Structure 1
């Protein structure tokens, strides 16, 4: 048997197997990194859901004390409803989806801040143990949201880097992998907060 006769076939099989392994590695790494992004997005949503749950309890507690703050309470409830109506597809997070989500959540933060400022007029409410506990939980949840958003951005970076790096970018498009958006700060966040007494 002549070995040279089969040499071109052996080389072709080795080359095809090498290309297959390389492309499979690109795909599998992108899938793994994409799953990390989706998990991180789930953590972001869980943190915001926790805040939304706390807001309901906070509003009910304030209602009992602050009858004159109906417009502020209504604004908080409406902002929460708008925020929960915005959905983002974790498999295809676009900058537009993330901006809409961020804007809705910013509305919640803004109306919640107004509510907490208005509470200053009610000393009995400020001293209420359940209100103080809710306020502490809300502050803790805001920190969790910041952490979850940071971790989300940290998960997006290696995914985007992987699919945008040459030659991975050639194959990533063929497999349908698209760049994912980062969380950005809300417009105007770079300005210092004006505090009035």
Structure 2
């Protein structure tokens, strides 16, 4: 009788361990998929930005410093993407978004540029990509939260430590990203 109870407890433990492990594996893959979705959009935007910069450059008096900052931020984003450095990506994204806001605000002063069909199309495409990135960032951060809770929650933490499932950092942008833009300052 005692042997049957011991076997039953071992079977229950084994079932729990397998279910816990499989749940952690599922979360790991959901996290990878969420990151991949962000990565695809970042690559698309990465490909569109040089086109936008080139259209703006054709208007010779256009603000060169803003265009330079956009190109530099684009490079930092590419490096962070390749290194899978979420913190560096967040910082570079914040910088790029601020400079894109500045670029679009400064472009208002150039009626010929605003009327340029290529500029309008690229601006709409980049704004749509920005919105999609924000949506995917939310999905990624939800996956990070689900992963981190499971990895840190007892008794799953036992399996997580045993098989080296780690917590992840959410994709965050700095406070500069979330505060209101002073459009008046951008036009000065």
Where on the TM-score scale, by shorter chain, does this alignment land: which range?
A: 0.7 to 0.9
SS at match of 1:65: coil
Does 105-114 or 27-36 show the bigger shift?
105-114
From 17, 24, 30, the counterpart of 1:36: 30
Deviation at 1:9, TM superposition (A): 4.4
Q: Which runs of 5+ in 2 are unaligned?
A: none
The question of 1:20 aligning with 2:8 is answered no
SS at match of 1:188: helix
CA shift in 2, pair 1:144/1:68, >3 Å: closer
The question of 1:46 aligning with 2:49 is answered no
Deviations 1:154-183 (A, max 9, x none): 222222222222111122111111112222
Does 33-42 or 59-68 show the bigger shift?
59-68
From 98, 105, 108, the counterpart of 1:110: 98
The question of 1:70 aligning with 2:54 is answered no
Which one has the largest radius of gyration? 1
Does 65-74 or 157-166 show the bigger shift?
65-74
How many pairs does the alignment contain? 185
Q: Which runs of 5+ in 1 are unaligned?
A: 1-6, 91-96
SS at match of 1:177: coil
RMSD, aligned α-carbons: 2.1
1:148 maps to 136
SS at match of 1:179: coil
- TM normalised by structure 2 equals 0.87
